[in-house]
Copies of this chain bind each other. A is one copy, B any other.
């Protein structure tokens, strides 16, 4: 197992030259977060993640989290120590408000910390990720007492948080949940019900866990309209801030999962547990989306982060492993990196990682604009762009996460299938990212159902127009950029064609739009990736670093010529409508049409 190398140079270049971070640092409130400060910070953070967290990854997978006979949950060896050091160093608090002890850095910086922590150990990194979602819900909807009582120690990381949405009969359809919350005379509520898939629902890394729990109050409307959100601490908190009695929430069991074994995924039972209403009754869905939207970008980032770690390992293996003789080579054996097909696997990984990183950081930068730009119109526009980019980041990031970790495994040949090599773990771990925080199908439905129609389609058309501006830049950059320009133009045309079809068709046949939503979302991923790689290639020569400039040109050209053309290949599926999808009945789908020979 090679050491994880935080990709500081890649990140620093992306911040300065691709996603316009200097403009973010100029926004009011982010003055202290200038680029130099940020690069220094992420260097230190990367060092921490590589030294302290990364070594727990493989052992955490083989050991797994365990539920003890007494019902408590133990994380794998080393997690508790690493987490305490993480809290002490304060990495979790960097992007959180200074008012509650945070560093007040932009979300963009927070996302970079998440990338590196997830590369180091995805299972471990889930605990801070869930905590952050709970913090954001509290920041937006907590009352003064709740904020004062819980936020400082959640921001520091001393206390962790969870999101309790899912119940056995209520997965993607959150509105079907049945956990009850009955008001008590003292203003608190008594919660009773069972929640499943609760990540870090219990563990031994922190003394306190703050659960945010969706439940129904008596007489609440049916479906999503009647859902409220409650804060349910593992231990009640006394007025002096000390921990009081144990609350009525208990871990019934842990799931046996394909991956992220180090992260306890709990079945939690709430029995007359004391909860405190957040925001007000029936605001649960709104609060959930506050937690979710932030988490969706983070989950897309998981795809990138795990694939980055897997890539590093496959690159090292391809340089070490000697096998056979490449064409034109002399000597005994060639390193397998000399074989063109292995190069293809490496270049596909490298270019996809760059595209994803630019896309994720761009989305995060718009999150920061949406909160801190002094111009309300700019904030509103940034919010629209976040709305479009977030489902793309989540789905494209996690889908590529699966595909790239599988390529990294493939580079290892037979060794990749052996668990001790570590390549298989990355594939097993990242597989969940396409599922949780809203399946990738839900993301695609969100894109075509909620985001495309904003301002009658003007929002998405404006983004496409912005992307098209790269054409002139490429034309001015030199003839070596010609094929990039031509291919981007062709693929943007296909994306535009699909977009106009979606906007037109959505008015009369929403099912047809949903039918093409997944291939359509991938077209967006490919095109935004190609756009940002091109932007990087155009910007790179100004750095004066010719190795970097050459590298960015190659990545952009490889993507444009060899990856991006998948986009037109998806056009047919995006605009085919529902006919063939619904043409077969259950018998035909099962292949039970009566065979001829009877």
Q: Which residues of A contact B (CB under 8 A)?
A: 5, 7-10, 12-13, 16-17, 35-36, 39, 166, 171-173, 175-176, 196-197, 255-259, 312, 315, 319, 323-324, 326-328, 333, 337, 339-347, 350, 402, 406, 409-410, 413-414, 416-420, 424, 427-428, 431-432, 434-436, 439-441, 444-445, 487, 510-512, 514-515, 517-519, 543-545, 547-548, 550-551, 554, 557-558, 561-563, 565-573, 576, 578, 580-584, 586-597
Give the one of A10, A327, A440 with max B CB within 10 A.
A327
Contact B9 A344 (CB under 8 A): no
Q: For A341, what are the chain B residues with a Cβ–Cβ distance below 8 Å?
A: 441, 444-445, 514-515, 517-518
Chain B residues in 8 Å Cβ range of A8: 595
Q: Which of B172, B417, B593 contacts A431 (CB 8 A)?
A: B417
A589 and B258 within 8 A (CB): no
Evaluate contact between A350 and B35: CB separation under 8 angstroms.
no
- How far does the alpha carbon of A561 sit from the alpha carbon of B323 in the complex, in Å? 41
Which of these, B173, B347, B434, contacts A324 with CB under 8 Å? B173
Bound Cα distance from A227 to B416, whole angstroms: 26
**Contact yes or no, B406 A435, CB < 8 A:** no
Can you sample 15 A-B contacts with CB below 8 Å? A12-B597, A36-B597, A173-B323, A173-B324, A319-B586, A328-B511, A337-B586, A339-B514, A340-B514, A340-B517, A345-B441, A410-B439, A413-B439, A551-B588, A557-B580
Q: Which residue of chain B has the shortest Cβ distance to A554 in the bound complex?
A: B583
A593 partner, pick from B172, B258, B551, B573, beta carbons under 8 A: B551
Copies of this chain, complex-wide, total 2
- B312 pairs with A590, CB closer than 8 A: yes
Starting from the known contacts A341-B444, A563-B573, 4 additional A-B residue pairs (CB-CB under 8 Å) come to: A171-B414, A315-B589, A319-B586, A487-B572
Q: What CA separation (Å) do A347 and B589 show in the bound complex?
A: 8
Q: Tell me whether B435 and A416 are in contact (CB under 8 A).
A: yes
User: CA of A567 to CA of B572 in the docked complex: distance in angstroms?
Assistant: 12
- Report how far A499 CA is from B288 CA in the complex, Å: 53
Per the bound structure, the CA–CA distance linking A410 and B344 in Å amounts to 27
**Complex interface: chain B residues within 8 A of A584 (CB):** 347, 350, 550-551, 554
Residue of B nearest to A515 (CB): B340
B424 touches A436 (CB 8 A): no
Residue of B175, B410, B576, B596 near A434 (CB, 8 A) is B410
Query: Which 7 residue pairs of A and B lie closest in terms of their CB atoms, listed nearest first?
Result: A569-B569, A9-B595, A340-B515, A173-B324, A562-B573, A548-B593, A258-B424
Distance from A301 Cβ to chain B, minimum over Cβ atoms (Å)? 17
